[in-house]
Structure 1
Amino acid sequence: MNQARIIVAGIGPGSTGDITSAVIDALRHCDAVVGYHYYFPFIEAYLPADALRIDSGMKQERRRAEEAFRVAEEGRTVCVISSGDAGIYGMASLILEMKHKRGSHVEVEVLPGISAFQKAGALLGAPMGHDFCVISLSDLMTPWLLIERRIIAAAEADFITAVYNPKSDSRYWQLYRLKELFLARRAPETPVGIVRQAGRDGETTTVTTLADFDPEQADMFTVVLIGNSQSYAVGNTFVTPRGYYREMEREEGVNVGQGIMIESFRTIERELKHPDIPLDRKWAMLHAIHTTADFDMERLLWTDPGAVAEMYERLSSGRTRTIVTDVTMVTSGIRKGALQRMGIEAKCYLSDERAVKMAAEKGITRAQAGIRVAVEEHPDALFAFGNAPTALMELCTLIRRGKARPSGIVAAPVGFVHVCESKEMVKPFTDIPKVIIEGRKGGSNLAATLVNSALTFNDAAQLRPGRDV
């Protein structure tokens, strides 16, 4: 007779070849085996002839655990078997809980096994090459609303997701709901792997897409694997890259800073709620969100149709040679490399002695006075505002008086007084291309990045920002 202990053993997904040597050794030296009757054929060859066999049906886990303790407390070694890994939806947690509740002296050891999702992943290729999670759709122990919250969290966090207990005779609708939740958050072409009877007779594998996935293909013997935004399929091989090739194959001429910016833009584009918008508007929006990390920019960014493309055409053709800003912080944020490459000058008149004198004499803000001086020298410049609504309002007045003919306006002043009104004042000038951050939000960094989007619009189609980083 062995010592009083329970070994909770994961016997793998079903093939004898997937049972670990440690589990086989434990089975060969045990006094008794407790488990679901369906699993005994997989391990019978390893059991001693005189070992006590205690089997039972589904949904009798607690009874099996109690039997295991009863036999072990008689001074015998008991193997409690679970399919896959005993610690993943298996008997290990119940046995350890029961030991604590009973105050039992029985020693408990847990032996790991190969899980069904691991076996399924190996059969499909390498779908779990990056962060992943496992979710069971069984609501016997977990309320459905909690399961649904976890599904949403997994989908939004871009986890590769393995789905256990996807469907049964009584639970037919949950997998349809999971598909609906994922489609609202993942691309329809996301790969989906369906593996039935992994490692057992009748094993089948299918690779499809999230859009084409049919929940009727699944049952209780099925594991469903849903890829992340980087996953892809080649035939029946399902791969999620770890990222090694991305590290090794940085495009020629792309420095580290630009590489980070390109990856950031790709991330933002994937997370846009409304990605199907004109390219020039999207290019400005990507810049705005990249600068602020604020996806509210999807709602706040207002542009005339084709405004960014028109600004770029005027800048690149030489029709616009000057960019005027309301404050020096906007000027500082405009890409110097782009300005030099295109032969454009960015100027701010805030500290110009003429503006300082005018502001003092007329009782107006220096930013407002700076725009008056700027218009005298560059009436057809591209004007960018990231701070002062008074400066933007001054430009509107000068346009209406026929003194200013801007080639474009970037309106992103920030604050609480006259900010919203100043932005609305710009909109009626229909012959001037405009990019506006509506509402109170704005800032010098936003104004500068929107100017940069116009300067680099020729990189938009390839989604290659940061050439001048």
Structure 2
Amino acid sequence: MGTGKIIVAGIGPGSESDITPAVLSAIRQSDVIVGYKYYFRFIEKIIHPGAICIDSGMKREKTRAEEAYNYAAEGKVVTVISSGDAGIYGMAPLIYEMQREKGSNISIEVLPGISAFQKAASLLGAPVGHDFCVLSLSDLMTPWELIEKRIKAASMADFITAIYNPKSEGRYWQLYRLIELFLQERDPQTPVGFVRQAGREEQEVTITTLADFDPEQVDMFTVILIGNSQTYRFDNKMITPRGYYGEIKMGKAETGIGQDIMIRSFRTIEKDLKNKDIPLDKKWALLHAIHTTADFDMENILRIDDNAVASLYDRLNSGAVRTIITDVTMAASGIRKGALQRMGLEVKCYLQDEKTVALATEKGITRTQAGIRIAVGEHPDALFVFGNAPTALMELCDLIRKGKATPAGIIAAPVGFVHVQESKHMVKPFTSIPKLIVEGRKGGSNLAATLVNSILCYNDAINLKPGRDV
């Protein structure tokens, strides 16, 4: 009697052309073939006539492993087949576990195969170009609580994620839950590909997005691949760049590293907002404010008039308003130059103007106050932005009441302890003027500038893609 041996072989996803030469050779030379009965159809042409075939149904894995050990103990060479790769949700771990339990000294050899997710990835393009993970939604052997924990970790860590066992006749809601969890972390336009019966005659390949993905289109023979934040669709293929070109391509646009970080930050902030039901334009400005300050109190103190952000964007973008006035140069310097050039806008600050210095000296007022008085004389209908000086904001309010200023909008974010809160209260009665007000003592030039930037890129709000001009 010869020396028995167990070979655990991955036969690939289902096509003979995807079976490795080593596995083909092992099957042809084996005395016994053990496997799930459905898989024998993929290898029946290569089994030699004298081989013993032990096929059994689902959930009979331990029985098949026992059969393998029994025949190997008789001195036979036994090949245990798994679809895909035998070490990925396959028979290899069970064969080794049983060896430990039995205290057996039977030789074991594992032959790798092409896994289903690798085959699916090749059909979808190149979606697994960076860090990835593989999850199974089957809770037959793993508690759902643990599976959900892993789903959350994968989505938060921005892994490209392959999904095995997405659905069965009695298990359907888990895939809906997975999509719900991923949408909390990923852009709704993230590419998603799924392949049914990969490598087989019934093969179907589909590419969609996370938002449009329909779980009813998949079954237990489907492998799903969810892209990461860098994955894009090109020529009906999914591509996840490795990084050789330096910048990350998303669709037809190019996203630099700075914008990519900003996008991820916004998603994190959005997830942590207490109020999830904020109108889009208000949420867009709020996300910018929190991103700049790292202060979630902005949810409580940032007061935005209804439709203020959207209406100001429309007026600036259409050319109805061409000028933005700031109280101090620091606020002006924080407004993105790329956005200003793109929209044909100018930013002016009169703080250092000779006329401002002269007027402040003559009237005994602050330079910021004098600067606003001169600005109103030249640009009465500009967008006025305040990030430092409450006296400048109070000056504008006085000029509005006198009918000398008709601002397109006001961003009121002066900071400090003297007259700051009063100046913000003075703005509120002007109900016909769109306003963004940072209540209380908080504010600052950087915050005022970021609120302007939120208006200038409001057309990116729908896709939650800030930082176009970073």
Q: Give the TM-score normalised by the residue count of structure 2.
A: 0.68
Q: Which residue of 2 aligns with 1:205?
A: 204
* Matched residue SS, 1:134: strand
* Matched residue SS, 1:306: helix
Q: Which residue of 1 aligns with 2:311?
A: 306
Q: Which residue of 1 aligns with 2:82?
A: 82
Change in CA separation of 1:224 and 1:372 when aligned onto 2, cut-off 3 Å: closer
Cα distance in structure 1, aligned partners of 2:337 and 2:223: 54
**Preserved CA contact (<8 Å) 1:330 1:447:** yes
Matches within 5 A, 1:288-367: 288=289, 291=292, 300=302, 302-303=304-305, 304=308, 306-310=311-315, 317=322, 322-325=325-328, 329-334=330-335, 344-348=347-351
Change in CA separation of 1:104 and 1:420 when aligned onto 2, cut-off 3 Å: farther
Deviations 1:312-339 (A, max 9, x none): 789964xx585322xx643543457859
**Preserved CA contact (<8 Å) 1:124 1:205:** no
Q: Which residue of 1 aligns with 2:273?
A: none
- Name the count of aligned residue pairs: 442
**Preserved CA contact (<8 Å) 1:308 1:433:** no
Offset, 1:10: 0.6
Cα distance in structure 2, aligned partners of 1:461 and 1:138: 35
**Preserved CA contact (<8 Å) 2:327 2:388:** no
* Matched residue SS, 1:14: coil
**Preserved CA contact (<8 Å) 2:247 2:257:** no
* Matched residue SS, 1:240: strand
Matches within 5 A, 1:23-34: 23-34=23-34
Q: Structure 1: where are the runs of 5+ without partners?
A: 362-367
Cα distance in structure 2, aligned partners of 1:410 and 1:159: 40
Change in CA separation of 1:120 and 1:313 when aligned onto 2, cut-off 3 Å: closer
Equivalent position amino acid for 2:312 in 1: A
* Matched residue SS, 1:147: helix
**Preserved CA contact (<8 Å) 2:327 2:372:** no
Q: Are 2:137 and 1:137 aligned?
A: yes
Change in CA separation of 1:457 and 1:146 when aligned onto 2, cut-off 3 Å: closer
Offset, 1:82: 0.8
Q: Which residue of 2 aligns with 1:410?
A: 411
**Preserved CA contact (<8 Å) 1:12 1:83:** yes
Offset, 1:205: 1.2
Deviations 1:271-327 (A, max 9, x none): 97889846xx7886676576568899788472536235556789964xx585322xx
**Preserved CA contact (<8 Å) 1:161 1:225:** yes
**Preserved CA contact (<8 Å) 1:312 1:454:** no
* Matched residue SS, 2:199: coil
Cα distance in structure 2, aligned partners of 1:157 and 1:321: 40
**Preserved CA contact (<8 Å) 2:166 2:175:** yes
What is the Cα-based RMSD across aligned positions, in Å? 5.4
Q: Which moved more, 1:449-458 or 1:30-39?
A: 449-458
Cα distance in structure 1, aligned partners of 2:188 and 2:456: 31
**Preserved CA contact (<8 Å) 1:261 1:466:** no
Q: Which moved more, 1:439-448 or 1:261-270?
A: 261-270
**Preserved CA contact (<8 Å) 1:264 1:290:** no
Cα distance in structure 2, aligned partners of 1:371 and 1:141: 69
Cα distance in structure 1, aligned partners of 2:248 and 2:226: 28
Equivalent position amino acid for 1:195 in 2: R
Cα distance in structure 1, aligned partners of 2:179 and 2:291: 30
Q: Which residue of 2 aligns with 1:10?
A: 10
**Preserved CA contact (<8 Å) 1:288 1:449:** yes
Offset, 1:85: 0.8
* Matched residue SS, 1:33: strand
Change in CA separation of 1:311 and 1:323 when aligned onto 2, cut-off 3 Å: farther
Q: Give the TM-score normalised by the residue count of structure 1.
A: 0.68
Cα distance in structure 2, aligned partners of 1:204 and 1:191: 17
Cα distance in structure 2, aligned partners of 1:164 and 1:394: 63
Q: Percent of aligned pairs with the same residue?
A: 53
**Preserved CA contact (<8 Å) 2:193 2:208:** yes
* Matched residue SS, 1:63: helix
Offset, 1:90: 0.8
* Matched residue SS, 1:163: strand
* Matched residue SS, 2:171: coil
* Matched residue SS, 2:7: strand
Offset, 1:447: 1.9
**Preserved CA contact (<8 Å) 1:7 1:77:** yes
Equivalent position amino acid for 1:302 in 2: I
Q: Which residue of 2 aligns with 1:435?
A: 436
Offset, 1:163: 3.4
**Preserved CA contact (<8 Å) 1:307 1:434:** no
* Matched residue SS, 2:436: strand
**Preserved CA contact (<8 Å) 1:2 1:30:** no
Cα distance in structure 1, aligned partners of 2:318 and 2:327: 17
**Preserved CA contact (<8 Å) 1:155 1:186:** no
Change in CA separation of 1:170 and 1:246 when aligned onto 2, cut-off 3 Å: same
Change in CA separation of 1:110 and 1:298 when aligned onto 2, cut-off 3 Å: farther
Deviations 1:217-268 (A, max 9, x none): 543333345566755486xxx41123499949999xxxx9x95566667778
Q: Are 2:118 and 1:118 aligned?
A: yes
Change in CA separation of 1:126 and 1:434 when aligned onto 2, cut-off 3 Å: same
Offset, 1:81: 1.5
Change in CA separation of 1:276 and 1:108 when aligned onto 2, cut-off 3 Å: farther
Offset, 1:8: 1.9
Offset, 1:386: 3.4
**Preserved CA contact (<8 Å) 1:321 1:344:** yes
